[in-house]
Structure 1
Amino acid sequence: MSLTIVAHGPDNPNRDRGPGVQLIRGTFTDKQTHFTVWSSAVEAPDSFQVAVTNNPADLVLIVSGVNTGMLHATWGEDWRAFVPDWKAWFQDTAFKVFYTGRADDRPTPGKVRLCDG
């Protein structure tokens, strides 16, 4: 079963950007380099890619098979040799940004729901 992907959910900080950046899902950093997450399509993309923000030609990671669940990650040439822990963190963060537009787990201000019983 494939998951429905909302290109610009209500909590995605990039949803109000103008034309030409609709494929940008968000950005994140590893405290040394800034990265941008791009989707393959505005609606129901089957892949996404992560590139260095100031150099979009420097592809770090491409993840395909998002809709089918048959995920395949391809690392850019200069990034393949990075340590496995960093690569695992990077993939997790890229997925968070792809799905939510945010790299952290903090709730969006004003979006917190409380249950009182």
Structure 2
Amino acid sequence: MGRSRLSVADLAALERGRFSDGRRSYTVRASGADSPDSFQVFRTDNAADIALIVSGLTSGCLHATWGEEWRGASEASREWLRAWAFHVFYNGDGVTSARPASPGERYCNG
């Protein structure tokens, strides 16, 4: 039995909201409409650029899988993304908030 492909409208209906670090925008999408077991966070301008997938929502056994760009990020940066992802998943759109800089990375906030 093959898995059916979701339409653009179906995918849009699964979106919980967006947040930004001031340079990039991220979208949070649930795995399903009813009692989703996971959600994914991806760059809004490129859905193939996955930042984070969180699974185990219904079982309570949470597991984070980080996208390539985020695997080497500082713990503070990953915690920032994880916190905003959960906030948006449960509450909707977030606000722009500068994320902590990784070592060797600079951000201008002003």
TM over 0.5: yes
The residue number in structure 1 matching 2:67 is: 76
Aligned length: 87
Query: Which residues of structure 2 form unaligned runs of 5+?
Result: 1-8, 96-110
The residue number in structure 1 matching 2:92 is: 101
Any idea what SS the aligned residue of 1:41 has?
A: coil
Judging by fraction of residues, say which structure has more helix. Answer: 2
Identity %: 47
Superposition RMSD in Å: 1.4
The residue number in structure 1 matching 2:43 is: 52
Letter in 2 for 1:84: E
Deviation for aligned residue 1:32 = 1.3
Deviation for aligned residue 1:78 = 1.9
1:26 aligns with 2:17: yes
1:38 aligns with 2:40: no
Any idea what SS the aligned residue of 2:81 has?
A: helix
Q: Could you report, residue by residue, the CA deviation over 1:62-96 in whole angstroms, capped at 9, with x for unpaired residues?
A: 00001111000000112111111011011011000
List structure 1 runs of 4+ shifted beyond 2 angstroms.
none
Deviation for aligned residue 1:35 = 0.3
Query: Which residues of structure 1 form unaligned runs of 5+?
Result: 1-18, 105-117
Cα distance in 2 between the residues matched to 1:102 and 1:45: 18
Any idea what SS the aligned residue of 1:102 has?
A: coil
Further displaced range: 85-94 or 95-104: 95-104
